[in-house]
């Protein structure tokens, strides 16, 4: 079965879901293969085994289908079967017939390692994706990929690697030719956001608050209103990691309640406050995420472990 590059790319984007939480705009959606739509619906219905069976059935007749291999691997990662998942991602990388689709498959492989909190292996594959976008002078997408790698690293506790890759994302994104002031503000907001979180993780409250204030000043310019929901997330994150659990909860309640990472962080916050029933409820929500992205890569394994 011949699958066009456009369909491959769109299917991969569907499986990867909404990626790192500070992205500027969602990609334009192209037509998805029908089996991807069906599989996504099964996942939303909590039927991971059935979704996996559907993708495997597709692969019986179309073993070189990149979307089917990526989809099967993504489901397996969500099921906690990373080693098996990576067999499908390896196949997708091997059979991808364009540099673009090969890079997308490598990005999916990077996320597979993210589900295991493996910053080093995630970077290994994200570096290859970063290099591909550099080869076509897509500095914005290079910045996105660097930030994605950094997000995995901060969530896994490798703060030095996170800092390095967030800075790389910021500096590379700003290389975009004829960059508009709003885009500059976006990259600067992301960088302040990242530095605040890293400082909080290091226990440096004063440094964290300095970057929170800088992020707020950029946001207040009004050039990137779609980033507004990420500010209460930032304040809640900093409050949590600097020991202000009541303050963290107040801020996190104003963040995106559908983000599995936020749900997981709220569960952790309730746990710190000694409210176990509420914590378990948020862990249950986080455990049902179906995206193959950094937020789910952290939240799903963490929440499932808490529920076990």
Q: For residue 107, count CB atoms less than 10 angstroms from its CB and return exposed for 0-12, middle for 13-18, buried for 19 or more.
A: buried
Confidence of residue 30 (pLDDT cuts 50, 70, 90): low
Q: How far apart are CA 100 and CA 176, in angstroms?
A: 19
pLDDT digits (tens, 9 = 90+) for 271-307: 999 999 999 999 999 999 999 999 999 999 999 999 9
pLDDT digits (tens, 9 = 90+) for 221-263: 999 999 999 999 999 999 999 999 999 999 999 999 999 999 9
Distance of CA 134 to the CA centre of its chain: 21
Task: Write out the DSSP string of 90-156.
Answer: HHHHHH--SHHHHHHHHHHHHHHHHTTT-HHHHHHHHHHHHHHHHHTT-HHHHHHHHHHHHHHHHHH
Higher per-residue pLDDT: 3 or 169 = 169
Higher per-residue pLDDT: 3 or 171 = 171
User: Structure pTM?
Assistant: 0.90
Predicted pLDDT of residue 32: 79
Predicted pLDDT of residue 11: 41
Give the number of other Cβ atoms within 10 Å of residue 151's Cβ.
28
Higher per-residue pLDDT: 186 or 28 = 186
Arithmetic mean of pLDDT, 171-194: 98
Q: How far apart are CA 190 and CA 203, in angstroms?
A: 20
Arithmetic mean of pLDDT, 183-187: 98
pLDDT digits (tens, 9 = 90+) for 103-126: 999 999 999 999 999 999 999 999
> Does position 29 have pLDDT exceeding 90, yes or no?
no
Are 290 and 72 contacting, i.e. CB atoms less than 8 angstroms apart? no
Tokens of 8: 């491959």
């Amino acid at each position: 079965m011949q699958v066009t590059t456009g369909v491959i790319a769109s299917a991969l984007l569907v499986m990867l879901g909404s990626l790192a939480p500070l992205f500027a705009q969602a990609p334009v959606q192209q037509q998805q293969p029908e089996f991807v739509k069906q599989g996504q619906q099964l996942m939303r219905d909590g039927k991971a085994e059935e979704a996996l069976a559907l993708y495997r059935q597709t692969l019986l007749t179309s073993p070189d289908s990149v979307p089917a291999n990526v989809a099967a691997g993504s489901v397996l990662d969500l099921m906690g079967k990373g080693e098996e998942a990576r067999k499908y991602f390896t196949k997708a990388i091997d059979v991808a017939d364009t540099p673009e689709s090969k890079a997308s498959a490598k990005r999916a492989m990077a996320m597979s390692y993210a589900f295991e909190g493996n910053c080093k292996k995630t970077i290994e594959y994200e570096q290859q994706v970063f290099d591909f976008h550099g080869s076509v002078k897509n500095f914005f997408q290079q910045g996105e990929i660097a930030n994605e790698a950094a997000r995995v690293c901060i969530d896994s506790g490798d703060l030095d690697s996170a800092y390095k890759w967030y800075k790389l994302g910021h500096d590379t994104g700003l290389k975009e030719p004829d960059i508009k002031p709003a885009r500059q503000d976006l990259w600067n907001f992301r960088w302040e956001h990242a530095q605040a979180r890293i400082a909080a993780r290091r226990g440096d409250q004063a440094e964290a608050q300095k970057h929170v204030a800088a992020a707020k000043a950029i946001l207040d310019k009004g050039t990137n209103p779609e980033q507004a929901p990420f500010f209460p997330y930032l304040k809640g994150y900093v409050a949590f990691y600097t020991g202000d659990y009541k303050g963290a909860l107040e801020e996190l309640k104003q963040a995106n309640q559908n983000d599995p990472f936020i749900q997981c962080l709220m569960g952790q916050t309730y746990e710190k406050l000694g409210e176990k029933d509420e914590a378990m409820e948020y862990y249950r929500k986080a455990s049902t995420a179906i995206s193959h992205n950094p937020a789910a890569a952290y939240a799903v394994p963490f929440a499932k472990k808490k529920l076990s």
